[in-house]
A = this chain, B = another copy of it.
Amino acid sequence: MPAYAELAHEALESTRDALTREYESFKAKGLALNMARGKPSRAQLDLSMPMLTCIVDVDDCTAEDGTDCRNYGVLDGIPEAKRLMAVMLDDDAEHVVVFGNSSLNIMYDTMARCWMFGTLGHMPWCKLDEVKWLCPCPGYDRHFGVTEAFGIKMIPVAMNEDGPDMDEVERLVAEDASIKGIWCVPKYSNPSGATYSDEVVRRLAGMPCAADDFRIFWDNAYGIHHLSDDATQQDQLLDIRRACDGAGNPDRCFKFASTSKVTFPGAGISAMAASSANIADMKAHMSPQIIGHDKLNQLRHVKFLHDGKGLAEHMAKHAAILRPKFELVDRKLSEGLSDIGGCTWSKPRGGYFVSFNAPAGCAKRIVELAKDAGVTMTGAGATWPYKQDPADSNIRIAPSLPPVEELDAALDVFVCCVKLAYAEKLLQD
């Protein structure tokens, strides 16, 4: 079959009509399928059930330094939890602070501290006339939600195969002191799955910034979330903090990670790594806010995951569940959409998403059609600041939650919706 763009008007009309019939037959099934959020499946959650019996006796409650984890105290995390999270953050334990169950909460609070108090003695951002932020696109909707909450003006920059368009990033930050930071999901990026190249990391670390307090919010959410346990099939990422250190900008980055997609999304632990000066500044501001996070849950995670080796073994079990789903996505999209033209999608080696680019002007319609047929996708536009995708093209596919058979059914619907929306669009043009 030729590409849709090459079809004559009548052929396109009959194609559209056939697709409409197919779509109506999907709709008649009354499906309720979900590919919207990066939620682990039930099978993945079951992997961590033994963690819940890691702490049951009084003797289980003591940290290695003698701290009774049931009682108050320890602002920055017990030592063994710092070491564990240092593995996830690719950093040293002394640069790590362990928090509660949400890395989004750390990012928001870190932004709020910069906003209210300034960072390392700089002017609080709330005192400035305007604060701007760089947002590699497509990107993560919850990141954009944080900057939007503070009224920070978001500037999209292109997200390429090797990271953000650094020529554009360097040009912008060099000339505009109101640009205070950039969102980064540097490994198996949300949604494209791309991993920043060493060169991109070094350029981010070293680029001259008009703002002295420019900050990289480095959300390494998928740092150990490979789809294969074969090391040759895993992406490698240069560490940003050491790169910043080497470039003479040691305080430029805040790094974030969590076990949300390692153990339990609702009951994991999260952590941050940064320069010693940043850590000291943050702890001074945290001290009036909280006495300490849940240390029993920190200890529970250490007793279950142990160390880097334990983490890797555990993540291989996740990969075994996730890999078939990603393979299914690629197979279904290839079978259904390769011929019609105009569509591209990513083939990530890790993370939780496939980034799908529909023909321009079709994304909203595709998501609407899918929703009406019982298949919930991430909202079209969500991967752009203010939910405004200028090409109305990008759709994030999240294949982790549904079992394979449900995913299979949902992808059939999705493929039909893409084809139908594309045919409709060409007929309108």
- Which residues does chain B contribute within 8 Å of A71, judged by CB atoms? 39-40, 45, 264-266
Given A58-B46, A101-B100, verify A267-B291 contact (CB < 8 Å): no
A345 within 8 A of B: no
Q: Which candidate, A8-16, A140-148, A223-231, is the interface stretch facing chain B?
A: A140-148
Contact of A115 among B46, B53, B116, B289 (CB under 8 A): B116
A386 within 8 A of B: no
A55 within 8 A of B: yes
Within 8 A of B (CB), among A63-109: 68-74, 100-102, 104-105, 108-109
A288 within 8 A of B: yes
Q: Which candidate, A155-163, A294-302, A308-316, A414-422, is the interface stretch facing chain B?
A: A294-302
- Which residues does chain B contribute within 8 Å of A104, judged by CB atoms? 289-291
Evaluate contact between B288 and A101: CB separation under 8 angstroms: no
A42 within 8 A of B: yes
Chain B residue with Cβ nearest A285: B149
Chain B residue with Cβ nearest A101: B294
Given A49-B57, A58-B49, verify A265-B108 contact (CB < 8 Å): no
**In the bound complex, what is the Cα–Cα distance between A39 and B70 (angstroms)?**
11
Contact of A72 among B73, B100, B109, B265 (CB under 8 A): B265
A37 within 8 A of B: yes
Rounded to whole Å, the gap between the CB of A51 and the closest CB of chain B is 10
A293 within 8 A of B: yes
A409 within 8 A of B: no
- Which residues does chain B contribute within 8 Å of A297, judged by CB atoms? 267, 294, 297
Rounded to whole Å, the gap between the CB of A145 and the closest CB of chain B is 4
**In the bound complex, what is the Cα–Cα distance between A100 and B73 (angstroms)?**
15
The 5 A-B pairs of least Cβ separation, nearest first, read A267-B296, A145-B288, A108-B289, A72-B265, A149-B288
Which A positions have Cβ atoms within 8 angstroms of B?
37, 39-40, 42, 45-46, 48-49, 52-53, 55-58, 61, 68-74, 100-102, 104-105, 108-109, 112, 115-116, 126, 142, 145-146, 148-150, 260, 264-267, 285, 287-297
Given contacts A39-B71, A264-B296, A266-B294, 18 further A-B contacts (CB under 8 A): A39-B72, A42-B68, A45-B71, A46-B58, A49-B56, A52-B56, A53-B53, A53-B56, A70-B264, A70-B266, A71-B264, A104-B289, A105-B290, A116-B126, A126-B126, A265-B291, A266-B295, A266-B296
